[in-house]
Amino acid sequence: MTSFIALIYSLLFGLLHGILPDEHTWPITFSYAIGGASGKEGMKAGLYFSAAFTLQRAIVSELAYLALAPFLLKPTVNGIVYIIVGIAMSIAGGIVLRKNRYLHIHLLGHHHDNAGEIERTSQVLTKHHTEKSAEVTVPPVHWTIIHGFIAGFGFGGFSIFVNTVAAPAMPSPWLGFLPGLVFGLGTMIMLVIVGGVFGASLRWIHVLTEQEIKRIGSQTGGRTLFFGGILFGVAGIATLMGLVHYLPIDPGYTLIALFMISVAIPAFLFSLKEVLATRKLPSVK
């Protein structure tokens, strides 16, 4: 394979890598894009994540050219990456969920002897929580740079081609990084598009107000990061224990399916129900 053809394949595989549901790209891009609750923020999430991912891939491609690919492609590497990615996701999600506050009412107030004072206390506390709920904390989109660099150490079928076929096909060590760079750029193009679609998706529900969209996006993003991180940690441990060999399909697609079915969709539905439920609460004067 000539170096030019190797680069063309690397770019095409990068485009496929970005658009196919992949455990190293979609969960994190989805969480931050939906958290921003806008197409622009979603595109930023895809761009920042894939920029760090591209840099990391270029480094690994150069290392692969220097004959370190056999070490980097060991199955245990993916397991370790899953665990580290999971920890980073859960920490980020926990920060977002901790900072956000929900509108809720203390129906019985705090315990006092005077019944009138119970009602007054209830109203004061409700007003306090209402004021706090007006401020919505979203996952800062630039955090995706950290996630992208970490996630880049995971390997799938496409990246195996980049590191074992394309990188060695380069004519000199000075160009060993090019297949990884081109692969990352292809991923970047598609993730910017995918992130934009994810981020704009909440805007398609026209019955929601601007504040409700922000809160649903924020809580969905925080929950998918937190619980998705736990899922990634479990997947990492299972990989290190060799349990993934018993799966009937590719472990990566199994993980992304579990993420969407057991984390992303329930997180969105729960956040939507929670925010809409606040419409039924009595207003506070």
DSSP string, 236-267: HHHHHTTGGGG-SS-HHHHHHHHIIIIIIHHH
For residue 96, the 8-state DSSP code is H
Name residue 65's amino acid.
Answer: Y
Report whether 215 contacts 136 (CB < 8 A): yes
pLDDT of the residue at 240? 86
Q: What percent of the chain has pLDDT over 90?
A: 2
| Across 15-32, average pLDDT | 76
pLDDT of the residue at 119? 44
Asked whether residue 116 is assigned to any structural domain, the reply reads: no
Q: How confident is the model at residue 191 (pLDDT cuts 50, 70, 90)?
A: confident
Asked whether residue 62 is assigned to any structural domain, the reply reads: yes
pLDDT of the residue at 133? 46
Asked whether residue 117 is assigned to any structural domain, the reply reads: no
Asked whether residue 72 is assigned to any structural domain, the reply reads: yes
Residues 6 or more apart in contact with residue 37 via CB below 8 angstroms: 138, 199, 202, 203, 213, 214, 216, 217, 218
pLDDT at position 23 over 80: no
pLDDT at position 129 over 90: no
Q: What Å distances lie between residue 117 and 57, 108, 131, 139, 283, CA to CA?
A: 63, 11, 21, 39, 19
pLDDT at position 199 over 50: yes
Q: Which of 88-92, 156-160, 207-211 has maximum average pLDDT?
A: 88-92
Domain enclosing residue 171, as ranges: 3-100+136-279
pLDDT of the residue at 137? 67
pLDDT at position 112 over 50: no
| Across 223-227, average pLDDT | 90
pLDDT of the residue at 152? 67
In this structure, of 59-63, 114-118, 141-145, the range with the lowest mean pLDDT score is 114-118
Residues 6 or more apart in contact with residue 267 via CB below 8 angstroms: 219, 220, 223, 224, 227
CA 69: distance to chain centroid?
27
In this structure, of 26-35, 68-77, 94-103, 261-270, the range with the lowest mean pLDDT score is 68-77
Indicate the number of domains in the chain: 1
Nearest one of 148, 190, 189 to 59, comparing CA atoms: 148
pLDDT at position 230 over 90: yes
- The position carrying tokens 């394949």 is 9
pLDDT of the residue at 64? 78
In this structure, of 130-134, 177-181, 200-204, 252-256, the range with the lowest mean pLDDT score is 130-134
Please count the other Cβ atoms lying within 10 Å of the Cβ belonging to residue 244.
18
pLDDT at position 61 over 90: no
Asked whether residue 90 is assigned to any structural domain, the reply reads: yes
**Of residues 237 and 65, more confidently modeled:** 237
Asked whether residue 120 is assigned to any structural domain, the reply reads: no
| Across 152-174, average pLDDT | 77
Asked whether residue 108 is assigned to any structural domain, the reply reads: no
pLDDT of the residue at 53? 83
pLDDT at position 209 over 90: no
- Separation CA 26–CA 15 (nearest Å): 13
| Across 224-248, average pLDDT | 85
Kindly give the interhelix angle for 3-19 and 178-201, rounded to the nearest 10 degrees.
20
- Separation CA 127–CA 104 (nearest Å): 9
Q: Left, alpha or beta for 208 (phi > 0: left; psi -120 to 50: alpha)?
A: beta
pLDDT of the residue at 266? 92
Cα first-last separation, the chain: 74
When the pLDDT of each residue in the chain is averaged and rounded to a whole number, the result is: 76
Asked whether residue 143 is assigned to any structural domain, the reply reads: yes
| Across 256-277, average pLDDT | 87
- Separation CA 193–CA 50 (nearest Å): 12
